[in-house]
Amino acid sequence: MRTLVFDGRTGAAGDMICAALIAAGADPDVLAPVIDALPVRYEIGETEKNGIRATTVDVLVDDGDGAVEADADHSHDHDHDHGHEHDHSHDHGHEHSHGPKHEHTHESDASGAAEPAEGAGVHRSYSEVVDLVESMGLPDAVESTALDAFELLGRAEASVHGTDLDDTHFHEVGADDAIADVVGAALLLADLDPERVVTTPVSAGGGTVEMSHGTYPVPAPATTEITTRAGFRIVGGPIDRELLTPTGAAILGAIADGVDAVSNLAVERAGYGAGDADFERHPNVLRALVGDGGHDAHADRAHADAPDGSLAHDDIAVLETNLDDAAPEVLGGLQETLADAGARDVTVVPTTMKKSRPGHLVKVICKPADAEAVAERLARETGTLGVRQSGASHRWIAEREFETATLRVDGADHEVAVKVASTTDEEVYDVSGEYDDAAAVAEATGLPIREVLRRAEADVRERLAEE
């Protein structure tokens, strides 16, 4: 499995993520849709941080008078100075900083700025940002990634300030340069096209930051809320500077699963994305590794003494609610409606409730980052007054892939998808035909569905045994 790993030990910001993706092999030419939609250009170059050669990305915004303003996330409280050296640069029309920039109106005590740094360009509400992204004509996957990141940002801001999502107004995050960071990262990720993206625990830094609302400890309130929703881990330090920005956290939350560490990765390419600041003993770079394999080391450790054939490790959230008045039609449609919100599995269990009334227990499995959206959809669909969440849980799952079985009936070929379950050492222990495919073949051939499934599964088992 081709895996992209972000090494979060040095923090992350929007510009650093974009730079790391380019350094890891993404083509910066894919950023054209952003340049077409916004008055920005990306300046891509190289610099050196504590002896490490790294890529830089600066988003430059036209203020309408021909002047160019620097990206907010660059001047962020990461103490990223813009005086970094570029050995060579390419003008692609987007700005980036070399360390987390500040998408909040807070100044970084690392930057030493007298005033909070703000994003360049127009500031927008959450709904205006969504409309803008949807108007860019992006590929579906890219648009979805960008909107996921902005939803994380929007919900975090709404939670921190006690407002509704649609009424949330971004400051730096709604500016042209910050939008260029988020959409740019989504475009570059799609070009790199990994099968899996993970991040190790991200260093948030330490100390305090000055925001328009006062002085707050690092990580900033919005950053804390985003990482809670996204489900990846953060660690304090190793220096008293803000190392993880809200934009950086939101991008990672939208694209990456959090893991303790990664082992068994055959690295094909390593890229370093630089931030603006220079730290004495802390290289201000985000490392991105691309390679084959890459298992969660937590799962590896948990099975260190187990026999061969372990299952894969996965982080999930489990949601539950009890219903005593839900219509059968509503319960029957929950699988589909909740799946649209991010649910991985939905179970409805008959139960007995207060006063011996018959009812139902609805249990939903989803990724931690999707828990709030799924809970909200569950409440809207059923009218429940509360949804319980058991928190970020761990489960052991099979490695799953699909094979296609070909059945020849009365001179005609018919295809059935068959799910193959295996352990992490590729030992197959179950095959299961897909019911919908089998039903279609049964209708076309007159065979019983169970016979179609039996033949399809036998075909795949036979082929796997020959490999």
45 within domain boundaries: yes
Tell me the residue range of the domain where 334 lies: 315-397
* Rounded CA separation 289/100 (Å): 19
* pTM assigned to the model: 0.59
Is the domain of 324 the same as that of 339? yes
Q: What pLDDT does residue 66 have? A: 59
Is the domain of 253 the same as that of 288? yes
Least confident range from 31-35, 101-105, 260-264: namely 101-105
Is the domain of 411 the same as that of 336? no
308 within domain boundaries: no
* Rounded CA separation 47/60 (Å): 18
Is the domain of 339 the same as that of 441? no
Pair 232, 199: CB distance under 8 Å: yes
Pair 359, 348: CB distance under 8 Å: no
DSSP characters over 423-456: -TT--EEEEEE-HHHHHHHHHHH---HHHHHHHH
Q: What's the residue count for the chain?
A: 467
299 within domain boundaries: no
Is the domain of 180 the same as that of 328? no
306 within domain boundaries: no
| Sequence-distant (≥ 6) Cβ neighbours of residue 117 within 8 angstroms | 72, 75, 76, 101, 102, 107, 108, 111, 172
CA-based max dimension of the chain = 81
- CATH code, 448: 3.10.20.300
59 within domain boundaries: yes
Is the domain of 250 the same as that of 391? no
Residue ending a domain, among 351, 377, 397, is 397
Q: What pLDDT does residue 77 have? A: 37
Residue ending a domain, among 366, 397, 428, is 397
Is the domain of 257 the same as that of 355? no
309 within domain boundaries: no
pLDDT at 340 over 80: yes
301 within domain boundaries: no
Average pLDDT value for the chain: 80
Mean pLDDT of 446-461: 94
Residue ending a domain, among 375, 397, 419, is 397
User: Residue 276 region, left (φ>0) first, then alpha (ψ -120 to 50), else beta?
Assistant: alpha
Radius of gyration of the chain (CA): 25
Q: What pLDDT does residue 149 have? A: 94
Is the domain of 381 the same as that of 408? no
Q: Where are the alpha helices (DSSP H) in 315-448?
A: 328-341, 371-382, 435-445
- CATH code, 369: 3.30.70.1380
Is the domain of 450 the same as that of 329? no
Q: In this predicted model, what pLDDT tens digit does every residue of 154-191 receive, in sequence order?
A: 888 888 878 777 777 665 555 788 899 999 999 999 99
Q: In this predicted model, what pLDDT tens digit does every residue of 275-327 receive, in sequence order?
A: 988 888 888 999 999 998 755 444 444 444 444 455 656 677 899 999 988 88
Mean pLDDT of 425-443: 87
Counted domains in the chain: 3
Is the domain of 433 the same as that of 448? yes
Is the domain of 247 the same as that of 212? yes
417 within domain boundaries: yes
Q: What pLDDT does residue 312 have? A: 59
pLDDT at 113 over 50: no
Cβ atoms within 10 Å of 196's Cβ, excluding its own:
13
Is the domain of 274 the same as that of 199? yes
